[in-house]
Amino acid sequence: MFSLIFFVLLTFFLLSRLNAILGMRVGFTIDKEEIQGHFNDVEEVQTSDIDKMVSRLQKIDKNFQLNDFKNKAQKVFGIVFTAYANEDKKTLEALLSKRIYNAFVMAINDRQKRGEKLCGEIVRFISIEVVDIQIENTKCSICVKFETEQSNVLRNRQGDVIEGDLNYVQNRTDIWLFGKDFSSRDRVWYLEEIKSE
């Protein structure tokens, strides 16, 4: 009985966190206090600090290149954005940490129950910036700030627009935290946290 109550409360908590979503149920809003333990505030990180951490990271992974990582992060952003809108759980599972994946799946399932369809488009990337890198033993996390222009529309069962505007392009700033454990055979950088500003 206790475990059932705990599960219900946990589900309610997660769904309430998913209510404030990247414009239109496209992403997640995570309070600043929840992410400070993972990476510093954007304005506090200096370019020289990033350069130092890149040098440290290259001692662990000789093939790591910052620009290459940023290009791949941009591709992942687009893939996750599209996969979420298209309810492509298999693609999401390959790119997200288990906790974030479960949250995405809950949001998708909730949308499906309501018979809603999400149409999202990234109009363009304005900027992509690595704002923090943290290394602890064999674990590394890289924080990336994406500035984009997005168009998001949510439709009901009848196809009527219930959120968003077909003619409105929204400027968004999203901070994504990618993590990797170099002691693991799994060499993928998984998305571990999302913060929307």
Instruction: Choose among 137, 134, 107: nearest CA to 120.
Output: 107
174 vs 22 pLDDT, higher one: 174
In degrees, rounded to 5, the angle at the alpha carbon of residue 61 between the alpha carbons of residues 56 and 63 is 115
pLDDT, mean over the chain: 81
Do residues 151 and 69 touch, judged by C-beta distance below 8 A? Answer: no
Rg (CA), the chain: 18
pLDDT tens sequence across 136-171: 988 999 999 999 999 999 999 999 999 998 888 999
Instruction: Choose among 191, 190, 192, 174: nearest CA to 20.
Output: 174
**pLDDT score recorded for residue 45:** 57
**pLDDT score recorded for residue 153:** 93
List the CATH number of the domain containing 101. 3.10.450.240
pLDDT band at 48 (very low <50, low <70, confident <90, very high): confident
Overall average pLDDT of the 42-71 stretch: 86
Structural domain total, the chain = 1
The pTM assigned to this predicted structure is: 0.76
Instruction: Choose among 68, 103, 84, 104: nearest CA to 189.
Output: 68
Q: Tell me which residue range forms the domain holding 79.
A: 2-196
Overall average pLDDT of the 13-21 stretch: 37
